[in-house]
Amino acid sequence: MSAVSLLTIEIATAILAIGLLVIGLIVPKDQRQGIGYLATFGLIIVFALTLLYTNVQETVFNGMYIIDPYSTFFKQLFLAAAILVSVSSFDYVKRLGYNQGEFYSLMVFATLGMMMLASAGDLISLYLGLELMTITFFVLTAYRKNDFKSSEAGIKYVILGAMSSAILLYGLSLIYGVSGTTVIGEIAKGLNQGAQPLELLGMIFILVGFGFKVSAAPFHMWSPDIYEGAPTPVTAFLAVASKAAGFAALVRLLVIALPSLQSSWVVIVMVLSALTVIFGNFVAIPQTNIKRLLAYSSIAQAGYLLFGLVAYSALGVAAILFHSLLYVFANLGAFTVVIAFYNKTGSDEIKDYTGLARRSPLMAAVMLLSLLSLAGIPPLAGFVSKFYLFTAIIDQGYIWLAFLGIGMSMVSVYYYLIVIKVMYMGEPPEDSEPMKLPVSIQATLYATMLVSLFFGIYPAPLTDLALSVAKAFFPF
Amino acid sequence: MTSTIIFWLIAIIIMGSALMVVLLRNIVHSALFLVVTFVGVSGLYVMLQADFLAAVQLLVYAGAIAILLVFGVMLTVRGDIKYSNLFNRHKFTAGVVSLGLFLLIERIILSSDLLISNKPALESTVGPIADALLTDYVIPFEAAAILLLVAMVGAILLARGEGKPQ
């Protein structure tokens, strides 16, 4: 296939984003609501296009860009997340009332950046994809201009994001300096002349840079403030898709480019993952704001995802793929409830969720299933994916880490149950009425609930897919 | 021998002016020292016989970006300009940590051997750069274009007040 036909997905996404930007400028102000529908429709078409590429394994421009089942899996994940977020944000953006076209356009641009991260075959494309994603999120985070918290979150994200990018870039430049190539597939060959201190330094900087992006402890401190301050649909997209994109790139870099340093980076990743699950789960307990609670829970989930990297095996990579899919859908379900609840009540406090089960059984049920899935309770998808993650590390002999993970999962059940208790046992406020949800929100809620339930009860198709993708990706 | 002396001179200029960017209290002075840093880096490019890159560095960084920076300062800074780039109370700790990190990284760099290219210098550097940008590096090239578009749109969105005519 020619380079252009292999790049169809990226080109289509770029055209969609630029098209939305232009349409947002020429359509009269009172008719801009339709742009959200257009964005969703366009994303669905791009998603359909990716189905044609599921088994393609090719590189273009001498290894500069890789189209393989691994990257296509992640692209489909990002697109699914983008579709669900855009559907669930119709009302939110309408309430926002300004810059509607730009909102969806920026969201599609961020998706394009994530795709580049998953597919990048050299360090320059990887870095540019990362920056495209991050800079778009800077703008989206500060989108509510009259909201003090949103502006504060934007500023914090700019400063910390720029610093972590600088650290990552320094690491990448050191690896280039030692190996003499920026092509990820050839770095391993360039590094073969014995481990040098400089390689280790580059690797550490890369781990720190990506640690920020996936919010692993101790580089997580940006995420709760920013998740709380950003507009909720942006938080949802930031929490699920950008984290998955960070993992896609990190796994490719460590496994393909730096296998010679495996014995060194596995120790660092192990410490990071243990710290992350402990910290994320314990600090989540005292939270009273649902967005902050979900932020700490997603820090903890990043720790579980790092387990797959510690395992350094095809099963580990497959478990990362499986868990990131479950993580995306469970978190999107929970965040969609938060978006809908905010649209109705204007509150993000957990205590205001009291009696939600009686005001809106659907919202409470989706929140329940999403949280239990994140906690890893059978028969939900979270159980299966955590089972694979723990199996992968036990296979490699890290039994203590598996025990730690299981113990921390139990801690997580506690704070998830607090929310569930408020929703189901609490009394609804005196003057409250049943909540009517718009069709778009209902569709998102049903979709996320179905995915969590279906892959929990019948995980075989997804397991087979994840394993075959991981085997094609993992070199040995 | 002369090239070594020139290299060290340029290196000292770059390091010194970069330090001044951080240490000075007046942000306009910092911006001006940043220009000196950019000029120093373009000197390094000249030493590497990358004449075109050196010219681009001078035009784009020392020229355009420095002017943008000064404009940005002019439009945003309120209050006394003499105290516009201050330290917080962690000055001492930050100094110790930075010094430690610097010494560590410096040790590591000196104890590693970096790849040194022994290819002869190119006759013309413009052509090969153009070829590379439109063949192998076309994806990063296009991505950078999109990135700039997004940054521009974002800057306009954030700078324009809510509810103003769109």
Global ipTM: 0.91
CB distance B111–A65 less than 8 Å? no
The pLDDT of residue A195 is 66
CB distance A99–B163 less than 8 Å? no
Q: What are the chain B neighbours of A14 within 8 Å (beta carbons)? A: 142, 146
CB distance A128–B144 less than 8 Å? yes
Q: Which residues does B contribute to its contact with A (CB < 8 Å)?
A: 105, 108-109, 111-115, 135-140, 142-144, 146-147, 149-151, 153-154, 157-158, 161-163, 166
pLDDT digits (tens, 9 = 90+) for B47-105: 988 889 999 999 999 889 888 888 888 888 777 777 777 778 888 899 999 999 999 99
Residue B30's contacts (CB-CB under 8 Å, 6 or more residues apart) are: B20, B21, B22, B24, B85
C-alpha angle with apex B52: B50 to B53, nearest 5 degrees?
70
Task: Name the residue among A97, A98, A135 with its Cβ closest to that of B151.
Answer: A135
Amino acid at B48: L
Phi, psi of A183 (to 5 degrees): -80, 120
Instruction: Please tell me which residue, B123 or A114, carries the higher pLDDT value.
Output: A114
**Cβ–Cβ < 8 Å for A152, A53:** no
The nearest CA of chain B is from the CA of A393 a distance in Å of: 33
Per residue, the 3-state secondary structure of chain A, as one string, reads: CCHHHHCHHHHHHHHHHHHHHHHHHHCCHHHCCHHHHHHHHHHHHHHHHHHHHCCCCEEECCCCEEECHHHHHHHHHHHHHHHHHHHHCHHHHHHHCCCHHHHHHHHHHHHHHHHHHHHECEHHHHHHHHHHHHHHHHHHHCCCCCCHHHHHHHHHHHHHHHHHHHHHHHHHHHHHHHHCCCEHHHHHHHCCCCCCHHHHHHHHHHHHHHHHHCCCCCCCCHHHHHHHHCCHHHHHHHHHHHHHHHHHHHHHHHHHHCHHHHHHHHHHHHHHHHHHHHHHHHHHCCCCEHHHHHHHHHHHHHHHHHHHHHHCCHHHHHHHHHHHHHHHHHHHHHHHHHHHHHHHHCCCEHHHHCCHHHHCHHHHHHHHHHHHHHHCCCCCHHHHHHHHHHHHHHHCCCHHHHHHHHHHHHHHHHHHHHHHHHHHHCCCCCCCCCCCCCHHHHHHHHHHHHHHHHHHHCCHHHHHHHHHHHHHHCCC
CB distance B114–A179 less than 8 Å? no
CB distance A132–B163 less than 8 Å? no
Q: What are the chain B neighbours of A136 within 8 Å (beta carbons)? A: 150, 154
CB distance B154–A136 less than 8 Å? yes
The pLDDT of residue A292 is 94
CB distance A21–B146 less than 8 Å? no
Task: Name the residue among B108, B136, B157 with its Cβ closest to that of A201.
Answer: B108
The nearest CA of chain A is from the CA of B111 a distance in Å of: 7
Domain extents for chain A?
Answer: 261-476
The nearest CA of chain A is from the CA of B16 a distance in Å of: 20
CB distance A61–B147 less than 8 Å? no
CATH numeric code, B1-98: 1.20.120.1200
Q: Is the pLDDT of residue B161 over 70?
A: no
Rounded CA separation A471/A69 (Å): 10
Tell me the count of A-B CB pairs closer than 8 A. 91
- pLDDT averages per 10-residue partition of chain A, 476 residues: 88 96 87 87 96 90 91 96 94 82 93 95 95 95 87 92 94 90 88 78 94 91 92 93 94 91 92 94 93 94 94 93 93 94 90 90 94 91 92 93 94 93 89 86 93 91 91 79
Whether this prediction's pTM lies above 0.90 is answered by: yes
The pLDDT of residue B166 is 40
What is the C-alpha R_g of chain B? Answer: 20
The nearest CA of chain B is from the CA of A291 a distance in Å of: 24
- Considering Cα of A428, then A434, then A436, then A437, what sign does the dihedral take? positive
CB distance A198–B112 less than 8 Å? yes
CB distance A132–B135 less than 8 Å? no
The pLDDT of residue B165 is 45
Q: What six digits make up the tokens of B117?
A: 């290219």
The nearest CA of chain A is from the CA of B137 a distance in Å of: 8
Rounded CA separation A110/B113 (Å): 39
Q: How far is CA B53 from CA A390, B41, B47, B136, in A?
A: 51, 10, 11, 19
Q: Hey, which residues 31-60 in chain A have their CB within 8 Å of chain B?
A: 60
